Structure 1
Amino acid sequence: MMASDGQGGRLVYVMGPSGAGKDSILHYAALRLAADVRFSFPRRWITRPADSGGENHISLSVAAFAARAAAGDFALAWEANGHHYGIDTGIDAALEAGRHVVVNGSRGYLPLARRRYPDLLPVAIAVSADTLDARLRARGRETVDQIAARLARATALDGAEPGICRISNDGGLAEAGEAFLALLRRLPGKTAAVSSPG
């Protein structure tokens, strides 16, 4: 179990149904905080091709993922939507050094993540059912049945865990992105920020 002593960083655990815009919001924040040494945005290890679209992840086979998991290389690991996802143990060193680590998590895995990181900050990217349905249909990656299943899962998980900060992403990316940035910038830190050049 990893717990903050008040001097370390905090794990920011971002969740939301597929199509809610998590990747876009995380990318928006990471670009704007690239020069701020208080924050770390680690890439995920995922068992899907690197060119499959969406986030900039590290691709590996199911067998390679299992081997890494068995070796204890992942601080967090879960399975969802037919793929395995992992975040490596490098986040522990970053947290201990006082950096806030922002990760793309899974709502279903939140209770286990909280067990390892009791003071994590859970953030849900929320969208209406109509917006989610429209986005999933527009990207054309899922069948009608798969979209229906994703919508049902998103509804079932809503409100399932207490203490979740919610950011609405029914509007433009800048609106949700700035709301997320404001939340991150309110986190206390012992390390000073570095201004972006220019």
Structure 2
Amino acid sequence: MTAPASRERDASRRDLRRDGGRLVYIMGASGSGKDTLLRLARAQLQGQDRVLVAHRYITRPAGADEASVYLEAAEHARRAALGCFALHWASHGLAYGIGVEIDAWMDAGITVLVNGSRAYLSQACDRYPGLCAVTIRVNAETLQSRLAHRGRESADDIAARLARAQAVFDIPPDCEQVSVDNNGDAADAAAELLAIARRRCHA
């Protein structure tokens, strides 16, 4: 790569970096209840709350509990190439994306909650320095029960997800991280999550 091309690439990366002070990036193992908590948090929003939950674009049909839009794999890839996603990643053979509309929302002073990926946190922090990473925590027994109940994975898939839930993921040293316990009443955990978002509105 020539020097001018390298400088152009670096400048482009700087252009993509945005203040993430109004971004709440939700993480947790599959089955930890992220979608449920986001749905319940959205239901608790008041008219004066400047908070929105971003939907995801996923290459599988969305469940009833999800704020998600299904896209075929080819269309998802096409939109990624066109720059339609602020964040996008692959996991368990699926592709996920968060639309660039969240940039306009944050520019308007709105705090945005997104259902993200632990493995993609470093890239998210690179684009949105200042984001708040929230880990949804559940114990192994609760996680196994939830995965089995939703009926989406095979026994081998559940075992793989349980193993991945114990994996250690890198947290950027300057990334703000908090945890929300979701072993009890989901409404209480959702209220805690919403309180985090509301504090970001006034930070």
Q: Could you say whether these structures have the same fold, taking a TM-score greater than 0.5 normalized by the shorter chain as the test?
A: yes
The alignment-based identity, stated in percent, is 48
Q: Matched residue pairs, number?
A: 185
Which of the pair is proportionally richer in helix? Answer: 2
TM-score, length-scaled by structure 1 = 0.86
Once the two structures are TM-superposed, the CA of residue 97 in structure 1 deviates from its matched residue by 1.4
Give the structure 2 partner of residue 177 of structure 1.
Answer: 190
**Matching of residue 168 in structure 1 with residue 164 in structure 2:** no
Once the two structures are TM-superposed, the CA of residue 35 in structure 1 deviates from its matched residue by 2.1
TM-score, length-scaled by structure 2 = 0.84
> Which letter maps to 2:121?
L
Picking from 64, 71, 78, the partner of 2:82 is: 71
**Matching of residue 80 in structure 1 with residue 91 in structure 2:** yes
C-alpha RMSD of the superposition: 1.9
Contact 2:40 2:190 in 1 (8 A): yes
Structure 2 unmatched ranges of 5 or more: 1-15
Matched ranges for 1:1-198 at <5 A: 1-4=16-19, 10-33=22-45, 35-50=47-62, 52-157=63-168, 160-161=170-171, 163-189=176-202
1:35–1:2: structure 2 CA closer, same or farther, 3 Å change rule?
Answer: farther
C-alpha distance in structure 2 between counterparts of 1:116 and 1:38, whole Å: 22
Q: Which aligned segments of 4 or more residues in structure 1 are displaced greater than 6 angstroms?
A: none
Give the structure 2 partner of residue 196 of structure 1.
Answer: none
Contact 2:52 2:111 in 1 (8 A): yes
Contact 1:9 1:189 in 2 (8 A): no
Contact 1:9 1:98 in 2 (8 A): no
C-alpha distance in structure 2 between counterparts of 1:174 and 1:15, whole Å: 18
C-alpha distance in structure 2 between counterparts of 1:174 and 1:65, whole Å: 33
C-alpha distance in structure 2 between counterparts of 1:131 and 1:48, whole Å: 24
1:44–1:34: structure 2 CA closer, same or farther, 3 Å change rule?
Answer: farther
Structure 1 unmatched ranges of 5 or more: 191-198
